[in-house]
Chain A
Amino acid sequence: MKSLLVKTLALAVIAAAPALAQAARDIDLGKDFDSLGGNEKLYKRAKALDPENRVSIVQKRVVDRDLRLELGVNYGVNAGGDAYVSTQNLGGNIDFHITPRWSVGGRFYTHYNSLTNEGRAAYEDARRRRLTDPSDPNIRVSPTDHPERTMLGTVSWYPVYGKTNLFDLAVVQFDLYTLAGYGRVKLKSGWSEAITAGGGIGFWLTQHVSSRIEGRWQTYEDRPDDQARRLNVGILTVSLGLML
C-alpha cells in the first residue's frame, strides 16, 4: 500500500514537472524582464555623456520640378482700389520651373466689375437728386476707370518647403514662395503699367496636378475724370494647375 502511494506520488510529480517547469520559466522570464534597466542614477549619468546623435528625415521631392511647365486657371478677388468698384478675376497662370527654387512665368486675368454698395448708393443718390432738379450741374458721380484685363510677367522664388497630412489620405508637399512682376492693365481709359509683388503657397498634389493660393499687391494708375490716380490693390487668387 505504502509503495503504491509512493509510486502514485512520484507519477504525479513527474506528470506535473513540465507544467511546473513552464511556470518557473514564466516567472523567471517575467522577473528577468522587470529587472532590465530602471537604474535612474545610471541613466542620469548616461545623459551627461549624451553624444547628441540626431535623427532626421531626408527625402527627395515627390514632385520633380526641374525644368517643368505649369499651366493653371485661377479665380481671384480684388481689395482696395476704387471704392465704388468691386472686381473679381478669372484667368490663367503660367510658370516655368527652372529648379524647385525658381520659376518664371505670367499671370493673365479678365476682370469682372460691379458697383460696391457705396458706389450704388452714390449713383442712386445722384439719380434721385437729378430727378428732383435736372438742371443742377453739381449733381454728378465721378466715373469709374475699372480694369478690364491684366497681363503680368513674374519671377517667383520658393525658399521654404514643407508637407502636410491631407485628411489622412495623403501627404502633400508644398512650397511657400514670393513673387515679383511687371506688366500692363487694360482700363476703361486705356493701358496702364503695373507692378506687382506678393507671395503664396503652392501645393504639389500629384506629379501633374498643383494648386496655389496667392496674395499680391499691385499698383497702377487709372484715369477717372481724365486725372491720373495711383491705386494700390490687393489681389487674392486660388488656382488649379497642370504640371507638364
Chain B
Amino acid sequence: MNFVSSLITAAVLGSTAHAAGAPVRGLPAPGRAEFNRALGLATQDKTKPAHKIIDALLAAKKTDVPRDRLLMTKGRLLFQDGDVRAALKLYEQVPSDSDHWLEALEERGWAHLRLGEHGEALAQLKTIKAPMFESLVGPEPFFLTGLIHLKICDYPAIFESIKEFKAKFRPRLVAVQALAANGTSEAAAKVVAKLRAQPLAWKTIAPEAGRLPRLFHRDALLQSRAAELKAGKSDGTPVLRRLQQLANRDLKEIGDILQKMHLLEAELIQRIHMAEKPNARAHKDVDLAKGEEVLRFPDTGEYWLDELDKYRVKVTGCPAPKIATGGQNP
C-alpha cells in the first residue's frame, strides 16, 4: 500500500501552495493584494467587506489566488458570521486533490459539531486520521474527535482517541523537540542535503516529513530560503533556522492541544462517575441519498483509498445520569 499511499498524498498535496490563512507573498499580481486585504479585514471582524472582496475574486475569470484557497476563506468568513450551514457547503467544494482538502475536512468536522451532527463530524475526522495522512495532520483533529465523543458520551472512544493521539504524536514530539532545542536534527540535515539539488516539494521531503514541523514545505519563508540554497546562495543555515522556528511553533500547538486533552480527560472522569447505562435510543442513520443504491461495508480498521470521505457514524444517546434515591434512616 506504500506506493498507492504516496500517490494519494501527492495528489492531495499537488504543487506547493501557500498556507491557508497567511498572506500571499511575492510580487503583486491580480487578486493577491485584494485577498490579503480581505484576510486583514476578517481578523478585525469586518466580514462584510471581506465577503465582497472574496466574492469578486471567486467570480473573476482570472486571478492568481487559487480557487480552493478562496473557497476555504469564504467558508471561514461564513463560519465567523455564524452561517455554519453555508460554510459547510463551501468546504465541501474543495476538491480532494487540493492542498487544503485535509483542512477542509477538519473544518467540516467543526461545522458539523456546531450543527449537532456528531456522526457526520466523526466521519470527516475518520478520513483525516487515515495512516496515509499521518505526517500532514496536526493534533487538533484528535482533540476534536475527543470532544465529539464527549458530547455523545462515547467514553471508551475518548480513551481510544487519547491513546491514538499519544501513539501518533509522541515520536513527532521527540523529533521536533530535538530540532527546536539544537537547531538541527538528523531529519533536518537530510532535507537540507536534498534541497541543495532538488526543489522543496512533497516528493523530496516525504520520507522525513514525520520528524519535521508539520507542513513545513508549504511555509512561504522556507520556500524562499530553499530556493536560495538550491541556487547556491546560502549554506543551509537559514533553512535550519526557519525549521527551528517552525518546530517551536509546532511545540506550542501540541502544548495547547495537550492542555485541552487534559481538560477533556478531567471532564471524562467526572462523567464516568456520574453516568449509568447507555441510552439505547439511536440517532437516524445518514444515507448518501434517499432511495439510491448504496454499498455498505463495515469498518474493520483498515483504510481503503476509495473509502476516504465515505464514512458514516451511527451515534446513540448519552447514558442516563444517576439519580439519588432516599435511603433508610439509621
Binding site for B on A (CB under 8 A): 19, 22-23, 25-26, 29-30, 32-33, 35-37, 39, 42-43, 45-47, 49-62, 66, 99-100, 161, 163, 165, 168-169, 171, 173
Contacts and interface: CB of A to CB of B under 8 A. Distances in A.
B162 A51 contact: no
B272 A55 contact: no
Given A55-B299, A56-B314, A169-B4, 12 more contacts: A29-B173, A29-B255, A32-B258, A32-B259, A35-B262, A36-B261, A37-B163, A39-B269, A49-B155, A53-B314, A56-B299, A57-B307
A51 B314 contact: no
The 6 closest A-B CB pairs, nearest first, are A46-B155, A37-B162, A55-B299, A51-B278, A59-B310, A51-B316
Interface in B125-146: 126
Contact of A22 (B163, B180, B305, B314): B180
Contacts of A173: 295
Given A33-B173, A36-B258, A49-B153, A59 B295 contact: yes
Contact of B288 (A43, A59, A99, A165): A59
A44 to B, nearest CB: 9
Contacts of A30: 173-174, 177
A33 B258 contact: yes
B33 interface: no
A56 B299 CA distance: 5
Contact of B278 (A22, A26, A52, A56): A52
A57 B297 contact: yes
A173 B177 CA distance: 45
Contact of B156 (A32, A47, A62, A100): A47
A19 B258 CA distance: 22
Contacts of B123: 55
| Chain A CB within 10 Å, residue with most, of B3, B177, B261, B262 | B177
A122 to B, nearest CB: 53
B159 A58 contact: no
Contacts of A35: 262
Interface string B224-259: 000000000000000000000000000100110011
B152 A51 contact: yes
B319 A161 contact: no
Contacts of A99: 293
A42 B170 contact: no
A60 B293 contact: yes
Contacts of A22: 180-181
Contacts of A39: 269
B156 A43 contact: yes
Interface residues of B, number: 67
A55 B122 contact: yes
Interface of B: 1, 3-4, 119, 122-123, 126, 152-159, 162-163, 165-166, 169-170, 173-174, 177, 180-181, 251, 254-255, 258-259, 261-262, 265, 268-269, 272, 275-279, 287-289, 292-299, 304-307, 310-319
A42 B297 contact: no
Contact of A29 (B163, B177, B269, B296): B177
A99 B279 CA distance: 39
Contacts of B278: 49-52
Contact of A55 (B3, B259, B306, B311): B311
Nearest to B1: A168
A32 B180 contact: no
A120 to B, nearest CB: 51
Contacts of B154: 50-51, 53
B319 A51 contact: yes
A37 B166 contact: yes
A25 B258 CA distance: 13
A51 B317 contact: yes
B320 to A, nearest CB: 10
Contacts of B297: 56-57, 59, 163
A57 B311 contact: yes
A25 B254 CA distance: 12
A26 B287 CA distance: 46
B280 to A, nearest CB: 8
Contacts of B317: 51
Given A32-B258, A36-B162, A36-B261, A59 B272 contact: no
16 contacts: A22-B180, A26-B181, A29-B255, A33-B169, A35-B262, A37-B162, A37-B166, A46-B156, A51-B319, A52-B316, A53-B119, A55-B123, A56-B296, A57-B296, A60-B289, A60-B293
B294 to A, nearest CB: 5
